[in-house]
Amino acid sequence: MTNQPKPAELLVCVKCRHQEEIPEDEARPGEVLYNALNNTSVPPAIKVTPVECLSNCSQGCTIALRGAERWSYVYGNLDAAEHLDVILEGASRYQATTDGLVPWRERPEHFRKNCIARIPPLEVQDV
């Protein structure tokens, strides 16, 4: 029996301002990115979730990819107008794995150059 990839989650920081001053009544770049992703063809096995802050303000807009029993990744310097295809490609490749480890050369170039963090899977230890 082969391991089938499980669903993945794409977290989008909706508070990212990309180091810009944004008037209170305008959407922040992170929110624009989230809305743009919701208006594209995100694969059904990838859930797009807004989050309040990923603490990467100096390199926003920021996303994270995570999934059960997978490594998680945080990527920055993203823009709704330029990087939707990059995000969708990277998220699809991530979701297709069982462990979250997409070979470096198979990642979109922007992901290779703008990885903020790689976090190991959570392993609950019996005490």
Q: Name 13's bridge partners.
A: 51
Q: For residue 125, name the pLDDT band (cuts at 50, 70, 90).
A: low
Residue 10 has pLDDT above 80, yes or no: yes
Residue 21 has what pLDDT? 76
Instruction: Enter the pTM of the model.
Output: 0.89
| pLDDT, tens only, 20-79 | 777 888 888 999 999 999 999 999 999 999 999 999 888 879 999 999 999 999 999 999
Residue 106 has what pLDDT? 96
Residue 27 has what pLDDT? 85
Distance from C-alpha of 97 to C-alpha of 3, rounded to nearest angstrom:
9
* CB neighbourhood size of 54 (10 A): 24
| pLDDT, tens only, 72-105 | 999 999 999 999 999 999 999 999 999 999 999 9
Reduced 3-state DSSP string for the chain: CCCCCCCEEEEEECCCCCCCCCCCCCCCHHHHHHHHHHCCCCCCCEEEEEECCCCCHHHCCCEEEECCCCCEEEECCCCHHHHHHHHHHHHHHHHCCCCCCCCHHHCCHHHHHCEEEEECCCCCCCC
* CB neighbourhood size of 71 (10 A): 17
Residue 127 has what pLDDT? 64
Distance from C-alpha of 27 to C-alpha of 29, rounded to nearest angstrom:
7
Q: For residue 2, name the pLDDT band (cuts at 50, 70, 90).
A: low
